[in-house]
Amino acid sequence: MDPNNGQKSLHAIVEGHVQGVGFRYFVKEKAESLSLKGWVRNRYDGSVELMAEGESNQLQALLDAIRIGPSRSIVTNVKIDWDLNQHLYSQFSFLPTE
């Protein structure tokens, strides 16, 4: 049996007006509500980066949510990469800006 059956990881970089509008908190709250593990952080270029691991359908729900974002944000682009779930994280957390 494949241990990654239905399990994936999502790496995304969200561009637009996504800093200073509660975007990281929005991502963390949504990810935790979907039982996802990983992290979110601001980037010096003004984008927000995130890594999430979990069930494929839960990751898709997170992706759908971040394409819209919280009410004060304006998402112009989301760059995504899918991979197998590496089970690297035990919770969803904030990382320092990079």
Give the active site residues. 24, 42
Instruction: Calculate the alpha carbon distances from 8 to 2, 16, 32, 48 in Å.
Output: 12, 26, 16, 20
Q: Tokens 């999430």 label which residue?
A: 52
Query: What are 15's two structure tokens?
Result: 């561009």
Distance CA 9, CA 1 (A): 19
Distance CA 38, CA 91 (A): 6
